[in-house]
Structure 1
Amino acid sequence: MDPELLTIVVMNVMNTTRLVLHYFMSCETENDSVVPALLAAMETNNSRLLLAFTEQLHAVDRRYWARETSTEWWDRIVMHVWDDEQWLQNFRMRKSTFLELCAELAPALRRKDTRMRAALTVEKRVAIAVWKLATPDCYRSVAKQFGVGKSTVGAVVMQVCRAINRLLLRRTVTLGNVQEIIDGFEAMGFPNCGGAIDGTHIPILAPDHLAREYINRKGYFSMVLQALVDHRGRFTDINAGRSGKVHDAHIFQNTGLYRKLHSGTFFPDQKIPMGDVEMPIVILGDPAYPLLPWLMKPYTGKLDSSKERFNNRLSRCRMTVERAFGRLKGRWRCLFGRLDLDEENIPMVIAACCILHNICEVKGEKFPQEWSAEVERLAADFEQPDTRAIRGAQCVAIRIREALKEHFDHDSQ
């Protein structure tokens, strides 16, 4: 019998007995013992009816059940069978690095079991998030892979990215040993250099509000990641979340990095003589950035051999940031598709990918050549927009660049 129909029948019978009982209690009778006897009989019958109803409900097949899922792949295969090469290909890091990451994030991700179900372990939470960041898989595919619900994947990814930002950002994306960075760029041909800066566009879905503000010069929706890297391609400062329509120079001038560089508090006050001027620690940018005493950029327009030599030397060092972006996107392939996230969550996910990039670089995780080939292939789908050159320059900055040009000319002779 259908459960809904059975419920209606039982409730009708019980309501009828209540009406009968009220009728007898309202009647005047000479025998006061009739009503109590009748009440007792009705209670007995109602109890039997409820018991029969309960047994019938247990016998009826339920219409809705929780989906049965399997966690054997994760529990048995991945955690106990996979070797380091399989971990690297799928999680972009070896198992030892993964477990260290889990230990770092455990205070923010550990959950208690409930009476309804056992909580996901920290390792499984981190694995779900890292898998989603490292692959172009949709939420449904990741959910099936790990034996969890689709909504669980979305919640876990944000929990893990939030924990990565809160616990690891300041410790991982940091300047570190400045002299080591300067020596590294010096070996590459540029003196007193503290980093290379550039921006890259991350494709996103059209935002719900002000979508036109996110269309870049190539015609797709994007957010900009602007980053400063050291000589090894590790991020030392990141800024993510500005719309793809905004010029790189405008983004830069509204960052904390710009304010620190302008006030002289980001690098130590370490100047070297360059011709007849004192040259502070500088960073290197492309023509989209302004020429400043602490920011060197290439010459534009008609170039002679000296200017070309300067540009080549600067480009050789500035390529570190281009390679860093390539390795970032090669590891965390979610950055190559249109990020299927709410607009406010995208900067946090981009930052989490940058932090994981630095962790992998510090741990010496391999970056196979086929990943680079994949980056080049995917880059064609979302070509990076060209940015307009900034031509204004401060007088001191011009003198420093000219002195550097002459210094490189002297080196070549």
Structure 2
Amino acid sequence: MEKQNTNFRASLPVRKRVAIALWKLATNSEYRSIGHLFGVSNSSVCRCVQDFCKAVCTLLAPEIVHFLDREKLKDMADYFENGWGLTQCVGAIDGSHIPIIAPLEYHTDYFNSKGWHSIILQGVVDGKGLFWNVNDWVGQGGLYPVCTKNICGVNVGYYVLGDSAYPLQNWLLKPFPDNGRLTPEQQTYNKKTSRARVLVENAFGRLKGRWRCLMKRNDSDIKLAKSMVLTCCVLHNLCESHGEDFHQDWNTSSEEPVLVIAAQDMEEECSEIRQALMRHLNV
């Protein structure tokens, strides 16, 4: 992000450029207000935000938000089992709408059922509330490397927990649909998996609480808006892993996410995995 001085003017120090970008992400203030606060032009504010997000997405994101390897998958499965009694679980998945201004092209593709334009942030968090997958569909071929464990007579691989909006997969387990006729065992399964799934809901709350550009309408172009979303997820992981304070008054309730998922339920193939886990949780 460092720029060279010219014969006409000195460049902004890197610390100031980073501060300007962080202020934009944390407050979503207008460029004019930020420029007045830091004593720079509107165009300088815009360039600082673009350069900072590009640097984070290029250099930090691959190191901080990445698919878990074999060793980390095992560690995370142990973490979930020790904390929530969920064998083979390695994360929780959820999504949320990020308000944006209507793009000039294909604006109807971004118009959601609630009546405004948005992009969908889908994330998977680990047992500590850190994102290890953002906006990628993790189920291509299942969660690899495959490591199965026999649970009540069924070989169960690693899986993540989702809510009822997601399709049932052998790597993605969701609650039994509450039709008013759930058995006590199914209710126990829903209750215990729901307690663990709160992790991802809390992660989204803390993410949006710190970075207000995800709560208010983002008036940047669609490319920069997507870059800002990923940047905020990276910064979230940094803040959480370093134990940064989070004030509960920052938290605001978010809307119920609406997810568009192409895959369909694989009930016949996957229901026995959910049934096996249900039996295990009721022992």
- Among candidates 121, 127, 130, match of residue 22 of structure 2: 130
Q: Which amino acid aligns with 1:353?
A: C
Q: Secondary structure at the match of 1:207?
A: coil
Pair 173,321 (structure 1): closer, same or farther in 2 beyond 3 Å: same
- Residue number in structure 2 paired with 1:407: 280
1:309 pairs with 2:188: yes
- Residue number in structure 2 paired with 1:213: 109
Instruction: Quote the Cα distance in structure 1 between the aligned partners of 2:105 and 2:27.
Output: 28
Return 5+ residue gaps in structure 2 as ranges. none
Per-residue CA deviations over 1:212-238 (Å, capped at 9, x if unaligned) read 221212111110011111001100010
Q: Which amino acid aligns with 1:298?
A: P
What percent identity do the matched residue pairs reach?
Answer: 41
1:193 pairs with 2:74: no
1:143 pairs with 2:24: no
Instruction: Quote the Cα distance in structure 2 between the aligned partners of 1:357 and 1:172.
Output: 10
Which protein has the bigger helix share?
1
Following superposition, the deviation at residue 385 of structure 1 comes to: 4.3
Q: TM-score with structure 2 length normalisation?
A: 0.92
1:351 pairs with 2:224: no
| Conserved? CA contact 2:96–2:258, under 8 Å | no
Matched length: 276
TM alignment of 1:45-84, pairs within 5 A: none
1:258 pairs with 2:139: yes
Q: Secondary structure at the match of 2:219?
A: coil
Q: TM-score with structure 1 length normalisation?
A: 0.64
- Among candidates 119, 134, 147, match of residue 238 of structure 1: 134
Cα RMSD for the two superposed structures? 1.8
TM alignment of 1:358-377, pairs within 5 A: 358-372=237-251, 375-376=252-253
1:337 pairs with 2:233: no
Instruction: Quote the Cα distance in structure 1 between the aligned partners of 2:112 and 2:169.
Output: 26
Following superposition, the deviation at residue 167 of structure 1 comes to: 0.6
Highest RCO, 1 vs 2 (Cα 8 Å, sep ≥ 6) = 2
Q: Secondary structure at the match of 1:258?
A: coil
Pair 156,387 (structure 1): closer, same or farther in 2 beyond 3 Å: closer
TM alignment of 1:368-407, pairs within 5 A: 368-372=247-251, 375-376=252-253, 379=254, 383-386=255-258, 392-407=265-280
Instruction: Quote the Cα distance in structure 2 between the aligned partners of 1:274 and 1:308.
Output: 19
Structure with the greater alpha carbon radius of gyration: 1
Instruction: Quote the Cα distance in structure 2 between the aligned partners of 1:220 and 1:181.
Output: 37
TM alignment of 1:83-232, pairs within 5 A: 109-174=1-66, 175=68, 177-186=72-81, 187-232=83-128
